[in-house]
């Protein structure tokens, strides 16, 4: 079966197994002669969840097993989508404590990538709300791991890209909310330094993120719309919002019906879009009430939006730079992107908070994420951007990556060596591999 | 009191999806299958998602003599009963092994027919109920590639049609629905190269069934396109049909 990540690059012909319970799963693992990798809903952009010999589709593990309304703790199998969690628990007053920009990720995928959201600066990544998980280890045994028991396994599995074993089920906490609505405050920032200043002042905001115009030049370089958000309380709701407290009225899902010709995306169309988008944001600056779906998942409403990049797919670049080097590093990245004439309208800037973890992506500083339609010049551009990020002490998000080299990964992240040593020692290196782990010699 | 649904063959993908579809409408759920205790996680999932009561019931659809006791043992005679029992078998094997052929015929026809006989009589005595049989488009016309499975489903479809006729004619208040799902992306069809446009997800089947019960439909194709396809297949003259590879 031809599979790819969300970026539709690269593609590979993979043998797929779809177990429905631990019995099937153990059988799949026992039958596989070489290595295997678990796959969730295919939202990692690159080659993280591809293994030609055996890719284990975990979407058959789709059961919610327990809910403790005092602690807000859910126990769910690895293939349950965050969308399911929201559908079931939002009307009861609960929302995921951490959510990435799509609700179509599985619980297992969220843990393996240790995903972050717009609240990372304040509350950390998905792993910060994880109480325990069950992992099928290289020896075929399912172990329960938490901060107290099997703590090494726990620490490496969170953010471990599925390379420590197969995550089977997990217990994690939700946050209590009073409604499905968000109070959003949009602040235009005419330059990069102004955007960063706004982020630094907004440390108390629960959510913060910025859309950044990666093609604007001169004094407008790095102009952004900084968007802050809070869960609306019942008292904030009036009229139709109050009647629809959990924002359940169904929004029509649209789908991109065809692959767009890649020519549609060029420096002129993107820069025209960006100009309009910024002007529009500036006009609408101020506080608005929006439903959680539009706030957290604007792109989920357009199913298969990845097809706008054409048949060759796209690659996403996401790095994080340490705080002290952020302004200089971001400036250098933006200059290089503008010089390349590539770049897209989906460019996101976000302040991240401090995080201590074994192999997860986030660190205190600024993260920049943007998409590039895949062209022959893309690898070269990525190499340039990666070089700039490494020179400024940055590192890369493996859930987005399809381009990195083993050398650059090791230069950017000294945690790589202990990670591979752990894999060798525990037998995971031989048993769990993805095209990404092979490419990066993990 | 809330309504209840019995799902026979609750481990199958269609059975699971149908259980969710009815639970989301507030139905209490009875899950029946072999080794029913292994469905405990599915029962918890239904309870948490839909806040309904779920019970598990041991059932061997092929053990006809146990069917009266099985229905007797249910906490309540359900308002709706769905039979999603069935096995594709291996056509090649069924051509040479009588054991294999018999098992395909029995699990797709004899077992479901026997269960519906018991349920129908009790529902008639009560004066209400709906029986939903998951049959197959493979039963519309026998084809070289799966005629053992197809003939069992043809038998089941004819059974459902006759039962529906009997229960309607006698004004019993019991209704029978025949579901012809077409291709469905399930465990049973995994690995087969199915055209996406013709292939339904189990969730679609579940929703279509709930809708069919609500509207009192008789025969349901999950994706409408199958109705057209089957119309054509039914009308190909036999002298041509016998030479085709479909």
The domain that contains B25 carries what CATH number? Answer: 3.40.50.720
Q: What mean pLDDT, rounded, does chain A reach?
A: 92
Q: Are residues A216 and A71 in the same domain?
A: no
Would you state the pLDDT for residue A312?
80
Q: How many CB atoms lie within 10 A of CB A176?
A: 11
Helix (H, G, I), strand (E, B) or coil at A104: coil
Helix, strand, coil shares of chain A, percent, nearest 5, are: 35, 25, 40
- Region of A318 (left: φ > 0; alpha: ψ -120 to 50; beta: rest) is beta
Q: Which residue of A has its CA nearest to B45?
A: A64
Domain count within chain A: 3
β-strand pairing of A365-373 with A314-322:
antiparallel
A273 versus B204: which is more confidently predicted?
B204
Would you state the pLDDT for residue A251?
58
Rounded to an integer, the average pLDDT of A87-97 is: 97
Bridge partners for A212 per DSSP: A224
Question: Touching check for B145 and chain A: CB below 8 Å?
Answer: no
- Among A244-258, B33-47, B169-183, name the one with the lowest average pLDDT: A244-258
Transcribe A119-145 into DSSP letters.
Answer: THHHH--GGGGEEEEEEE-TTS-EEEE
Helix (H, G, I), strand (E, B) or coil at A414: coil
pLDDT digits (tens, 9 = 90+) for A114-155: 999 999 999 999 999 999 999 999 999 999 999 999 999 999
Considering only CB atoms, A65 lies closest to which of B38, B41, B187, namely: B41
b/e map A264-301, b = 16+ CB within 10 Å: ebeeeebbeebeeebeebeeeeeeebbbbbbbbbeebe
For B201, counting Cβ atoms within 10 Å of its Cβ (0-12 exposed, 13-18 middle, 19+ buried), the class is middle
Q: Are residues A248 and A361 in the same domain?
A: yes
Question: Touching check for A142 and chain B: CB below 8 Å?
Answer: no
Whole-Å CA distances, A355 to A133, A395, B131:
20, 14, 57
Would you state the pLDDT for residue A432?
98
Q: Are residues A202 and A263 in the same domain?
A: yes
Distance from CA of B5 to the nearest CA of A (A): 20
Closest CA to A182 of A204, A206, A203, A199: A206
Question: Touching check for A67 and chain B: CB below 8 Å?
Answer: yes
pLDDT band of residue A343 (cuts 50, 70, 90) is low
Chain A residue numbers touching B42 (CB-CB < 8 A): 63
**Dist. CA A104–CA A6, nearest whole Å:** 11
| Cβ within 8 Å of residue B231, ≥6 positions away | none
Q: Are residues A332 and A369 in the same domain?
A: yes
Q: Are residues A271 and A208 in the same domain?
A: yes
Closest CA to A159 of A111, A126, A104: A111
β-strand pairing of A55-57 with A37-39:
parallel
Whole-Å CA distances, A389 to A329, A385, A394:
7, 6, 5
The H or E element that residue A228 is part of is strand A224-231
Would you state the pLDDT for residue B189?
82
Give the dihedral of Cα atoms A409, A411, A414, A416; nearest 10 deg: 30
* Chain B residues 76-135 with CB within 8 Å of chain A: none
Q: Are residues A53 and A196 in the same domain?
A: no
Would you state the pLDDT for residue B59?
98
Q: Which residue of A has its CA nearest to B187?
A: A18
**Dist. CA A165–CA A36, nearest whole Å:** 9
Give the dihedral of Cα atoms A400, A405, A407, A410; nearest 10 deg: 10
End residue of a domain, out of A176, A197, A224: A176
Query: Is a pLDDT exceeding 80 seen at residue A270?
Result: no
Answer yes or no: do A64 and B48 touch at CB < 8 A. Answer: yes
Answer yes or no: do A63 and B38 touch at CB < 8 A. Answer: no
Answer yes or no: is A372 within a domain: yes
Would you state the pLDDT for residue A10?
92
Bond prior to B123 in cis (omega within 30° of 0): no
pLDDT band of residue A256 (cuts 50, 70, 90) is low
Question: Touching check for A323 and chain B: CB below 8 Å?
Answer: no
Would you state the pLDDT for residue A262?
55
Answer yes or no: is A414 within a domain: no
pLDDT digits (tens, 9 = 90+) for A156-207: 999 999 999 999 999 999 999 999 999 999 999 999 999 999 999 999 999 9
Q: Which residue of A has its CA nearest to B12?
A: A20
* Chain A residues 73-102 with CB within 8 Å of chain B: 77, 84, 88
Answer yes or no: do B45 and A66 touch at CB < 8 A. Answer: no
Closest CA to B142 of B103, B107, B91: B91
Q: What mean pLDDT, rounded, does chain B reach?
A: 95
End residue of a domain, out of A176, A211, A244: A176
Q: Are residues A303 and A222 in the same domain?
A: yes
Helix (H, G, I), strand (E, B) or coil at A17: strand
Residue A80 is part of which domain span? 62-176
Q: Are residues A129 and A15 in the same domain?
A: no
Active centre residues of B (catalytic)? 149
Would you state the pLDDT for residue A300?
83
Closest CA to A93 of A292, A228, A250: A292
Considering only CB atoms, B49 lies closest to which of A20, A21, A64, namely: A64
Would you state the pLDDT for residue A285?
79
Considering only CB atoms, A66 lies closest to which of B38, B42, B44, namely: B44
Answer yes or no: is B246 within a domain: no
Chain B residue numbers touching A88 (CB-CB < 8 A): 48-49
Rounded to an integer, the average pLDDT of A349-364 is: 96
Rounded to an integer, the average pLDDT of A14-43 is: 94
Answer yes or no: is B233 within a domain: yes
Considering only CB atoms, A18 lies closest to which of B41, B44, B190, namely: B190
Q: Are A400 and A359 in contact (CB under 8 A)?
A: no
Answer yes or no: is A210 within a domain: yes
Bridge partners for A287 per DSSP: A185
**Dist. CA B136–CA B85, nearest whole Å:** 12
Chain B residue numbers touching A63 (CB-CB < 8 A): 41-42, 44-45
Query: Is a pLDDT exceeding 90 seen at residue A218?
Result: no
- Among A86-90, A253-257, B233-237, name the one with the lowest average pLDDT: A253-257
- Among A12-21, A369-378, A390-399, name the one with the lowest average pLDDT: A369-378
Best mutation target among B41, B186, B187, B189 (most A Cβ atoms within 10 Å) is B41
Q: Which residue of A has its CA nearest to B188?
A: A18
Would you state the pLDDT for residue A258?
60
Would you state the pLDDT for residue A215?
86
Tokens for B225?
């396109």
Distance from CA of A411 to the nearest CA of B (A): 42
Q: Are A432 and A35 in contact (CB under 8 A)?
A: yes
Rounded to an integer, the average pLDDT of A44-68 is: 97
pLDDT digits (tens, 9 = 90+) for A226-236: 999 999 999 99
Helix (H, G, I), strand (E, B) or coil at B216: coil
Residue B76 is part of which domain span? 4-241
Domain count within chain B: 1
Would you state the pLDDT for residue A299?
82
Rounded to an integer, the average pLDDT of B70-80 is: 98
Q: Are residues A186 and A324 in the same domain?
A: yes
Answer yes or no: do B41 and A63 touch at CB < 8 A. Answer: yes
Considering only CB atoms, B49 lies closest to which of A18, A21, A88, namely: A88
Tokens for A283?
């006009």
b/e map A347-382, b = 16+ CB within 10 Å: bbbbbbbebebbbbbbbbbbbbbbbbbbbeebeebb
**Dist. CA B162–CA B117, nearest whole Å:** 12
Domain containing residue A394: CATH number: 3.30.70.2520
pLDDT digits (tens, 9 = 90+) for B116-152: 999 999 999 999 999 999 999 999 999 999 999 999 9
Bridge partners for B205 per DSSP: none
Question: Touching check for B185 and chain A: CB below 8 Å?
Answer: no
Q: Are residues A38 and A72 in the same domain?
A: no
Chain B residue numbers touching A25 (CB-CB < 8 A): none
Tokens for A180?
């499905």
pLDDT band of residue A276 (cuts 50, 70, 90) is confident
Distance from CA of B118 to the nearest CA of A (A): 32
Q: Are A113 and A357 in contact (CB under 8 A)?
A: no
Q: Which residue of A has its CA nearest to B44?
A: A65
Residue with the two structure tokens 């053990």:
B63
Q: Are A136 and A36 in contact (CB under 8 A)?
A: no
Question: Touching check for A27 and chain B: CB below 8 Å?
Answer: no
Share of chain A above pLDDT 90, in %: 77
Answer yes or no: is A412 within a domain: no
Rounded to an integer, the average pLDDT of B87-92 is: 92
ipTM of the complex in this document: 0.90
Q: Is this structure's pTM higher than 0.90? A: yes
């Amino acid at each position: 079966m031809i599979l790819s990540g969300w970026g539709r690059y690269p593609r590979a012909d993979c043998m797929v197994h779809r177990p429905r319970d631990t019995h099937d799963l153990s059988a799949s693992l026992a039958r596989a002669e070489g290595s295997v990798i678990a796959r969730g809903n295919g939202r990692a952009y690159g080659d993280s969840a591809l293994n030609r010999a055996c890719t284990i589709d975990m979407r058959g593990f789709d059961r919610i097993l327990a809910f403790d309304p005092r602690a807000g703790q859910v126990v769910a199998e690895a293939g349950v989508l965050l969308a399911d969690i929201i559908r079931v628990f939002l009307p009861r007053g609960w929302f995921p404590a951490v959510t990435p920009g799509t609700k179509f990720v599985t619980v297992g995928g969220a843990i393996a990538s240790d995903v972050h959201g717009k609240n990372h600066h304040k509350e950390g990544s998905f792993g910060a709300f994880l109480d325990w998980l069950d992992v099928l280890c290289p020896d075929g045994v399912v172990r329960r791991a938490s901060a107290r028991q099997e703590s090494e396994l726990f620490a490496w599995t969170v953010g471990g890209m599925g390379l420590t074993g197969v995550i089977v089920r997990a217990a994690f906490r939700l946050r209590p909310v009073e409604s499905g609505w968000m109070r959003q405050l949009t602040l235009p920032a005419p330059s990069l330094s102004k955007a960063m200043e706004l982020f630094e002042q907004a440390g108390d905001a629960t959510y913060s993120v910025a859309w950044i115009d990666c093609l604007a030049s001169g004094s407008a370089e790095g102009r952004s719309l900084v968007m802050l958000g809070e869960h609306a309380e019942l008292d904030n709701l009036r009229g139709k919002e109050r009647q629809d407290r959990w924002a359940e009225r169904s929004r029509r899902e649209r789908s991109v019906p065809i692959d767009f010709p890649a020519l549609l995306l060029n420096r002129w169309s993107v820069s025209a879009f960006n100009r309009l988008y910024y002007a529009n944001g500036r006009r609408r600056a101020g506080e608005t009430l929006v439903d959680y779906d539009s706030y957290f998942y604007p792109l989920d409403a357009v199913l298969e939006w990845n097809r706008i990049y054409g048949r060759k797919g796209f690659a996403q670049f996401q790095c994080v730079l340490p705080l002290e080097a952020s302004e200089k590093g971001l400036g250098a990245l933006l200059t290089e992107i503008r010089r390349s004439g590539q770049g897209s309208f989906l460019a996101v800037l976000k302040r991240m908070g401090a995080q201590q973890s074994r192999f997860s992506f986030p660190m205190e500083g600024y993260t920049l994420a943007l998409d590039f339609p895949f062209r022959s010049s893309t690898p070269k551009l990525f190499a340039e951007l990666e070089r700039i990020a490494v020179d400024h002490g940055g590192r890369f998000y493996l859930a987005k990556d399809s381009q990195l080299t083993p050398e650059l990964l090791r230069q950017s992240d000294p945690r790589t060596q202990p990670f591979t040593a752990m894999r060798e020692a525990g037998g995971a290196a031989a048993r769990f591999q993805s095209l990404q782990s092979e490419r990066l010699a993990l | 009191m809330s309504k209840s649904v019995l799902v026979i063959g609750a481990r199958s993908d269609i059975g699971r999806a149908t259980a969710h579809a009815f639970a989301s409408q507030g139905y209490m759920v009875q899950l029946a299958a072999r080794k029913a205790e292994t469905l405990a996680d599915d029962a918890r999932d239904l309870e948490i998602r839909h806040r309904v009561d779920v019970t598990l019931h041991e059932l061997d659809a092929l053990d006809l003599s146990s069917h009266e006791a099985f229905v007797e043992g249910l906490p309540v005679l359900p308002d709706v009963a769905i039979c999603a029992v069935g096995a594709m078998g291996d056509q090649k094997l069924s051509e040479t092994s009588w054991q294999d052929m018999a098992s395909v015929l029995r699990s797709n026809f004899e077992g479901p027919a026997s269960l519906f006989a018991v349920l129908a009589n009790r529902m008639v005595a009560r004066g209400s109920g709906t029986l939903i049989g998951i049959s197959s488009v493979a039963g519309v016309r026998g084809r070289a590639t799966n005629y053992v499975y197809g003939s069992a489903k043809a038998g089941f479809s004819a059974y459902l049609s006759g039962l529906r006729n009997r229960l309607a004619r006698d004004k019993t208040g019991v209704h029978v629905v025949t579901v012809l799902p077409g291709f469905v992306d399930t465990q049973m069809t995994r690995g087969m190269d199915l055209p996406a446009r013709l292939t339904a997800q189990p969730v679609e089947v579940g929703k279509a069934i709930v809708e069919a019960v609500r509207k009192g439909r008789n025969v349901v194709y999950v994706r409408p396109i199958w109705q057209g396809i089957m119309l054509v297949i039914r009308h190909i003259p036999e002298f041509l049909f016998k030479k085709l590879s479909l």
